[in-house]
Chain A
Amino acid sequence: MNEFIITMVNGVATGVPLFLIASGLTLIYGVMGVLNFAHGGFFMVGAYLVVLILAHDAVGIWSFLLAVGAAAAALAVIGLVSERGIFSRLYGAGHITNLLASYALLLIINGAVAFSFGPSSRTVETPTVLSGAVRVGDLAQPRYNLFLIAIGIVVATGLWLLLERSSMGCRIRAVAHDRTMARALGIRASRVSVGVFVLGSALAGLAGGLGAPVVSVGPGLDAAFVLQSFAVVIIGGLGSISGALVAAIALGVVDNVLVNYAPGLAGYGVYLTVGVVLLVRPNGLLGRQSESGSEMARL
């Protein structure tokens, strides 16, 4: 029983960075129709920035948070540049063109990182306050896991407040729902797009920064994470943030359960979940039954 609880908490903690990337991805997709391959690259850049800033020293929690914040801010700038330079020019060019453009961006980021940092992997120390474990009875959990879960709750609540309880959120939802109509009502859709892209990129940077102590920061990080976050977005349903939350946690838990109880299947968690979910619900768990699917499926 204890082992089961630990597996569960671990799973949720694994899910948090995934949720952070995926919420940005799904938000951008909902508003702009871009499934951004480069998000994995953004995550990697965020992780590298934290590694660079902290430079192997075990630091206090505040400087760690500051470094993570700096990574998020840097990614917001990168997001701004790529939206203005690439995706705003491709508006209305179709999903596939955008997918290709973002793949090109991923390649560029991947190459630039490899060029600047070389092929070796790096690690960063967990901040001193957050290392070690918390004990409740005979349950032990790494502190960093609990920290991640707390951050996850904060970000999820923040996103919910932003989207459902602010006028900005109202505009975002309007553009996501019907861009033409939203513009007719006087919403500046291109500004909303920029804002959402910047926010989504910053979330990827945040995820990268927070993930840096628990992953090995090296080339290939982008490829690994982009697949997982795509899986989360697809499982949750394209454009649905609550879907991303459910899917990210589900994936984290499935992964950890498989590692513990069915090691033979470890590594297949993502694929199994995606396969099963898409076969049962082609639009994801919480996805809209939308334009792309149902009508064609009947043919």
Chain B
Amino acid sequence: MTWFETFKGRIVGAPTGNVDRSRYLPGGITQVLLVALAGGLIVISLSTNHQYLATTMIIYSLFAVSANMLLGWAGTPSFGQAAFFGGGSYMVAIWRSHDLNPLALIALAGVLGATMAFVFAIISMRSRGITFAMLTLVFGQVLYQLTFTVKDLGGDNGLPGIPSGSLFGQDLSSSSAFVLYALAIVTICLLLLRRVFGSTFGLTVVAIRDDPVRAAALGASVRMVRIATFTIAGFFSAIAGGLMAQSSGIVTPGNLYWILSGNVVVMCVIGGLYYFWGPVVGAVVFTYLSVSVFQGATYANMYVGGVLLAVVLVFKTGLCGLPLPAAKAARGLVARRRLGRPNADI
């Protein structure tokens, strides 16, 4: 049985899954606003040391959700999401001396990412599965290599000195101002994505993942939906990349390297591929682990790999799915006691 089959009945967004899921996870607009508000308050109250960490978590949340559009919603494994993220970062970096409005820069980055993703989706149309995963990897690596060949992109040193800019007369260069700015943008983007997820289009994406042949028979245009999914994912990944550039002030080829694509896949899997909010949870946990717990130590990979392996082998639904087996186990316990013998349901 594949993952997809295992969770067919309770997939988020699938009509049958909606009722069941709402018991375990926050969904809908109101909750999002509440969560954002709560997050914002917590973030502000944190000391200055943690504001950068919080910003990173917020930005990676958007990146992970957009990557999960391909990975979880559409079931097309992409190992090249860093291409769009990095593309957005470099876009912001290249325009750094023009003194543009930061929002305009972010929009520019998004448009670039969407264009790149659109072109790539058309090129890669014919391949599926593993081959497709490798094509995405290759695509990302070509861009990575470009930064070393094209002089203006700065090679290994990257492009330093990116201003955060100012918005509505408010200087964003302080981390306490920037974290609010990032939070606002990411919240808006996530709300938009949530709308997309709940729309007919979102349902079609999930339907195509579960059974492309049947979805096509029901009238879904597999090709168009795939191109559209890619374009939207590219758009929001690039926005995350642009925010990252503004936040850290420097762009390096690391923003394009396939290891970052791998990391974002890890975030999605840890959080739970089949939940809209799964990648957000994954991004927060992953960032916390790699920045705070291991402080960027090279051997941190060992533990990250261990966590990923545990998720793949045991907790297949990721962190967001944990309440599910827990509830099941609890119900099982109750049932067992009532019936007075073990494994009554087998």
| Chain A residues close to B by CB (< 8 Å) | 35, 86, 89-90, 92-97, 99-101, 103-112, 114-115, 119, 219, 223, 227, 230-231, 234, 238, 264, 267-268, 270-271, 274-275, 278-279, 282-284, 292-293, 296-297, 299
Contact = CB atoms under 8 A, between A and B. Distances in A.
Interface centre among B123, B128, B129 (most CB of A within 10 A): B129
A271 B304 contact: no
Contacts of A219: 298
Interface string B121-134: 00101111111011
Contacts, number: 146
Contact of A299 (B2, B130, B216, B266): B216
B223 interface: yes
B305 A282 contact: no
A292 B141 contact: no
Interface residues of B, number: 48
B309 interface: yes
A274 B138 contact: yes
Interface in B62-111: 75, 77
Query: Top 7 nearest A-B pairs by Cβ distance?
Result: A111-B302, A107-B305, A111-B301, A108-B305, A115-B299, A114-B298, A104-B308
A18 to B, nearest CB: 15
The secondary-structure label for the interface of chain A is helix
A103 B299 contact: no
Contact of B130 (A35, A90, A119, A270): A35
Given A97-B312, A106-B305, A230-B137, A271 B223 contact: no
A267 B305 contact: no
22 contacts: A86-B313, A90-B313, A100-B312, A103-B262, A103-B308, A107-B262, A109-B305, A110-B302, A111-B305, A112-B299, A114-B301, A223-B258, A230-B134, A234-B131, A267-B148, A268-B145, A271-B141, A275-B138, A282-B127, A293-B126, A293-B128, A296-B212
Given A90-B313, A108-B309, A282-B127, A274 B77 contact: no
A238 B134 CA distance: 11
B2 A97 contact: yes
B236 to A, nearest CB: 22
Interface centre among A104, A112, A227, A284 (most CB of B within 10 A): A104
A227 B308 contact: no
Given A94-B3, A268-B142, A271-B145, 7 more contacts: A99-B133, A108-B309, A111-B301, A227-B137, A227-B141, A270-B138, A271-B141
A296 B128 contact: yes
B217 to A, nearest CB: 10
A104 B266 CA distance: 9
Nearest to B305: A107
Given A90-B312, A111-B301, A231-B138, A292 B131 contact: yes
Contacts of A114: 298-299, 301-302
Nearest to B123: A279
Nearest to B316: A97
Contact of B149 (A94, A238, A267): A267
Contacts of A86: 309, 313
Contacts of B301: 107-108, 110-111, 114
B324 interface: no
Given A230-B137, A299-B212, A104 B125 contact: no
Interface in B197-234: 212-213, 216, 222-223
Contact of A107 (B127, B130, B148, B304): B304
